């Protein structure tokens, strides 16, 4: 794992991608499309910023928004040949960035500590049928019981032991 974000290939490619997006919107096709230009600029920069701040889901979301807007631009009848060539370059770069963002997101999910429910702590009971941790459940009639975390595959239950007063 790189210690500096500047050394991360995904950050480097996202910088190139943002630069290509900015170059693309300098074409005459975008002259009277200020809202679209601002959205493309903002989201292209968000990709970079989300990578730097270790938010790969945010980077992926910003990337998806840029790519969606670029698909929209492809439908413009007034796109010049010169602009179309630049758009094709940006779309090719987006394939590389998508691969790197997918890898970054997969690494993030693997490294992120798993959330442990309070009622599934190691000191809780294990299922008598399958050995899985049990969750504290509340029945329809108001009773509380331990239910297997593998439910519905396993329907193991235990009564909650009431503490003596």
Examine the domain organization and report whether 68 and 92 are in the same domain.
Answer: yes
- Model confidence at 43: pLDDT above 90: yes
Q: How far is CA 140 from CA 19, 28, 94, 143, 157, in A?
A: 58, 65, 51, 7, 15
Q: For residue 142, what pLDDT is reported?
A: 77
Per-residue pLDDT reduced to its tens digit, 48-95? 999 999 888 999 999 999 999 999 999 999 889 999 999 999 999 999
Q: How far is CA 109 from CA 23, 126, 163, in A?
A: 33, 27, 40
Given a cut of 70, whether residue 9 has pLDDT beyond it is yes
Question: Is 90 a domain residue?
Answer: yes
> pTM higher than 0.85, yes or no?
no
pLDDT tens figures, 119-160? 444 567 889 998 888 888 888 887 888 888 888 888 899 988
Query: So what's the pLDDT on residue 164?
Result: 57
Same domain, 75 and 134: no
In angstroms, the CA 42 to CA 78 distance is 24
Query: What was the pLDDT predicted at 109?
Result: 67
**pLDDT score of 104:** 87
Of 165 and 38, the structure prediction assigns the larger pLDDT to: 38
Residue 71 or residue 107, greater confidence: 71
- Beta-bridged to residue 157, according to DSSP, are 147
Residue 161 has pLDDT above 80, yes or no: no
Find the CATH number of the domain harbouring 66: 1.20.1440.60
Cβ-contact 115, 129 below 8 angstroms: no
Is residue 165 in some structural domain?
no
Q: What domain range is 128 assigned to?
A: 118-159
In a domain, 17, yes or no: yes
pLDDT in the model for residue 120: 45
**Per-residue model confidence (pLDDT) at position 49:** 95
């Amino acid at each position: 794992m790189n210690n500096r974000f500047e050394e991360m290939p995904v950050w480097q490619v996202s910088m190139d991608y943002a630069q290509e997006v900015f170059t693309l919107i300098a074409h005459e096709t975008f002259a009277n499309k200020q809202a679209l230009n601002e959205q493309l600029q903002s989201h292209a920069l968000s990709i970079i910023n989300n990578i730097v701040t270790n938010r790969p889901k945010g980077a992926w979301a910003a990337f998806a928004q840029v790519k969606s807007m670029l698909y929209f631009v492809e439908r413009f009848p007034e796109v010049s040949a010169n602009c179309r060539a630049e758009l094709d370059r940006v779309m090719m770069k987006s394939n590389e960035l998508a691969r790197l963002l997918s890898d970054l997101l997969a690494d993030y999910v693997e490294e992120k500590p798993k959330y442990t429910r309070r009622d599934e702590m190691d000191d809780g009971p294990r299922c008598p049928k399958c050995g899985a941790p049990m969750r504290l459940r509340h029945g329809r009639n108001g009773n509380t019981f331990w239910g297997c975390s593998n439910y519905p595959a396993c329907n193991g239950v235990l009564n909650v032991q009431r503490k003596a007063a």
